[in-house]
Structure 1
Amino acid sequence: MDSSGKPSTAQVVVLATSSALTAIIYSIYRSRATTVARLKEAKKVSIDQDLKNILSETPGRCVPYAVIEGVVRSVKETLNSQFVDNCKGVIERLTLKEEKMVWNRTTHLWNSTEKVIHQRTNTVPFGLGSHDEGFADTVRIIRPLDAAELDLETTYENFHPTVQSLSNVIGHFISGERPKGIHETEEMLRVGDSVTGVGELVLDNNLIKLQPPKQGFCYFLTRLDYESLLRSQGNSVRLWRILTVMFGVAACSMLLFILWKRYTHHRQSKKERSMLEEFKEQQRKRIRELNVEESSVSPTSCTVCLSRERSCVFLECGHVCACTQCYEALPEPKKCPICRSAIDRVVSLYNS
């Protein structure tokens, strides 16, 4: 905070940044809390022979937000893993990531970074069937890639290191980038996996579908069961709540600090003005006691004796208001005649 009492640029930046982050994190927290609340209210439906009858009797032949648990079954064809034998699935995601070390010019350290250079996702129509193999009907999964949490299993992972040569190493140090290699992964949703789906359950032309909800609710496809999904989302809510409180406290603390500094500056200024008025009154009284004209007193005269020139600078307040003889005559502990603050040291002032 500067001498005028206004907050410094750094304080304003900290306050603005912490306030903005608090607002952003709070909005995320509210969104996650709403998701958990809706998950708890979702209707849990079993995949059995009564499901079609239940949907037929439901208004609109749909349940706006439903939870189903079942086993992944392909509709027609399946996807074969490109790396694992006898591994069949309905969703396959191939990812290539470039991993490298980048020189940070600020910290003077090598930081590890990664960049997705290629990703392809293949899908085939599939549904969720009952754990009872005797029941053949399935719930068709619509637009699975739109799920907020599409939980896939890593079926293959390999790292291809970059071949280094002396010229490459020198070039990497000059450019500030040092490639480590290519990380290749394959992820799949395999046939037979137990999956929990949360979304809009509809009956369309004798076909039961689970699709993304239309009311802005979250769409889930996860290998966790319903209770584990709730716990996972609840832990996320707690994390964002803690972050909201932390950044909120930081923003409030900085705001209170700025207001307190403004208040103390205003109080100090008011006190100094009051003491200055009191000092001037005492000076006028002294002039009357000495029976001299106020206009005849030099502006640089000692404010105590009014006869000698001011020759002392009082620190730390910085006032120049007395001569050496009057300073030495001040009672202990010595205080500035103007602001009454303690005199830590004195610097002699020489008038030319």
Structure 2
Amino acid sequence: MSDLPINPLVLIGVGSSFAFSGLFYNLYQAKKEELRKLNEIPIFKPDEHLFKLLKSATRKRFQYIAVEGLVQPDGEPLASKFVPRSFGVVQKISEEEHWEYWNSLSKTWNSRKTNRTQTSHAVPFSLVAPGGYTSPSDGDVYVKVQNPLEATGLDLDRVHYRVRRAAEGGLSGAVLQGLSGERAVAKEESEEMLRVGATVTGFGELVLEADAGGRAMRLQAPQDGRPYILVATDYKSYLARHESSASMWKTLAVACGAVGTTVLAGTLYNLLKKHDDKESMSDHPINPLVLIGVGSSFGLSALSCHFYRVKKEELRKLKEIPIFKPDQHLLELLKASARKRFPYIAVQGLVQPDGEPLASEFVPRRFGVVQKISEEEHWEYWNSLTKTWDSRSTNRKQTNHTVPFSLVAPGGHTMGHTTAGGHDGVGDVYVKVQNPLEATGLDLDRVHRLRHAAEGGVSDAILEDLSGERVVAKAESEEMLRVGATVTGFGELVLEADAGGRVMRLQAPQDGRPFILAPTDYKSYVAWHDSSASLWKMLAVACGAVGTTVLAGTIYDFLKKLYRP
């Protein structure tokens, strides 16, 4: 190692820079994921709109939402112990003694803190909309906050802080200090409060209180393990604080990575420049094919990593889409919504035609709702250069047919006709599918495929020789979406007003999100996306490992030749 003119401190600095860059990038990704989840939490104010939404919910609860409002006590507030006319609902009083002890080694007095005591008090309080609450008996809408001391993130305002110097003990006090080696210096006291009228944003589970006349809501710790948070600020400021934290970690990651890369590049440049006069680079050739292979490996790894991230993001969004069956529960939720529509949901059900289904042209007793029939001719033409017959496909024809159909729950729908099918129209719940041919992902079942060989006589052979072309075969195929097949549709769900409030319609979303019809159940569709993401991940890791191994071996051989005696 003494032959290597590289300062070990430089290598340590470069390694530390890259290590800190990776650490900061990991913290940035964690904060970014936390911010993404935070942006997806619905935010409400404790007003009449929130009350109506909660009352219309099936279980009279929202599992996890954010509520922003002003603090108002349900009864008498807490009065500050030190500041007059200062009231709150949460109070923390801390007391701590500052002592000094004699250090016989350094011959000095060293300080320490001891006897710290903290008392916490809280009174029941609620969150109210600005100007919408004076007392619990006024009939206004409010959100009670349950167990605020169990919540995280509640930074209280400091309303009082004072340090009292210890009284001098005189001659007797000095004698005691000399004997014990300790002396009291000061006493620190502070008071923090969540004041009445302060803005608070709470994150948790919201339930409707049955014993409060149906007008009070309660914010409590979620049952699914998600954090119960109370922050003494508004929702936008809380988001801005998280965004600034994420930006800070991102800046630190980029800065450390740039410093490490710059120092490493400068070190390698100086190393090669120093030995350029010592030995010619022609004595240490690097095969260009190796460089091309390494570059290709890293390029394929980066491309596979990109596809993996895209597929992973699709999978994440897919898992966040609410999935329902076309049953009474979905109908009640849709009726309870404000606009009688869900912008984007997934519905899984069985295919049933609204009237007469489509019959297969080739397979008897085979019915469906979407049909594609394709016809294609296979020709050969004479290639005068190679003196052979080359094949090609031409005259491809495809006809599409569809009939109106719906998605129904298993066992929740009966056939209206013995051969045609259809809804019975007696109070069944179903979801109509609008314009299925416009949807993506609809892979139909192939029910028929046949290839007919062409036959010709002497006249056809003469025409083939003159034209240089001949018909070889004719292929025909039929694909269908069969009656009774399981389909999962992703789109906008609306309630049809002219169908007695019993019929829902699945259509292309208005916000630009994809309209998808997948001929499989929801779990299989998610599993397919998951396996696709895993495949791209494996390719990214494999290509990166190959490129790294070859690059490391090439650099090792290069340095070995460079420093050989």
Partner of 2:35: 36
CA deviations on 1:114-168 (whole Å, 9 max, x unpaired) are: 8994444333332212331254443122343454431322221112245689999
Equivalent of 1:152 in 141, 150, 156: 156
- Once the two structures are TM-superposed, the CA of residue 70 in structure 1 deviates from its matched residue by 1.9
Equivalent residue for 1:142? 146
- Does the alignment pair 1:224 with 2:228? no
1:13 and 2:18 equivalent? no
Distance in 1, Cα, partners of 2:277 & 2:228: 60
Of residues 186, 193, 198, the one that matches 1:188 is 193
Paired residues of 2:51 and 2:141 also in contact (CA < 8 A):
no
- 3-state SS of paired residue (1:150): coil
CA distance in 2, matches of 1:218, 1:270: 64
Between the two proteins, the alignment pairs up a number of residues equal to: 260
CA distance in 2 between partners of 1:58 and 1:237 (Å): 35
Partner of 2:219: 210
Counterpart CA distance in 1 for 2:145 and 2:279 is 73
Deviations 1:62-107 (A, max 9, x none): 4344232222233456433221234332211223466799xxxxxx
Residue in structure 1 matched with residue 251 of structure 2 by the alignment: 242
Output the amino acid matched with 1:127. Answer: S
Aligned CA-pair RMSD:
4.4
Aligned-partner Cα distance in 1 for 2:270–2:115: 49
1:233 and 2:242 aligned? yes
CA spacing shift, 1:23–1:145, aligned 2, 3 Å:
farther
CA-CA distance at 1:234 after TM superposition: 2.5
Distance 1:268 1:120 in 2: 75
Matched, 1:82 2:81: yes
> Deviation per CA, 1:284-311, whole angstroms, max 9, x where unpaired?
xxxxxxxxxxxxxxxxxxxxxxxxxxxx
TM-score (norm 2): 0.38
Matches within 5 A, 1:1-352: 3-5=2-4, 7-58=6-57, 61-76=60-75, 78-96=77-95, 117-131=116-130, 132-133=132-133, 134-161=138-165, 181-203=186-208, 205=210, 208-212=217-221, 219-260=228-269, 263-264=272-273, 267=276, 270-271=279-280
In structure 2, relative to structure 1, the CA distance for the partners of 1:62 and 1:114 (3 Å cut) is farther
Question: Runs of 5+ in structure 2 lacking a partner?
Answer: 101-110, 284-565
Aligned equivalents of 2:281, 2:253: Cα separation in 1: 42
C-alpha contact 1:151 1:223 (8 A) present in aligned 2? yes
**Residue 54 (structure 1) shift:** 1.0
- The one-letter code of the counterpart of 2:219 is L
For structure 1, the residue ranges without an aligned partner over 5 or more in a row are 102-111, 275-352
What is the TM-score with the length of structure 1 in the denominator? 0.57
Deviations 1:209-256 (A, max 9, x none): 323556776654333222333333322332222222222223333443
Counterpart-to-counterpart distance in 2, 1:241 and 1:127: 38
CA contact (8 A) 1:55 1:202 kept: yes
The 10-residue stretch of structure 1 (113-122 or 16-25) with the greater mean CA deviation from structure 2 = 113-122
* More contact order relative to length (CA 8 Å, sep ≥ 6): 1
Q: Is the 1:5–1:261 contact (alpha carbons within 8 Å) kept by the matching residues of 2? A: no
The sequence identity of aligned pairs, in percent, is: 28
Q: Report the residue type matching 2:189 in the other structure.
A: E
Aligned amino acid, residue 71 of structure 1: L
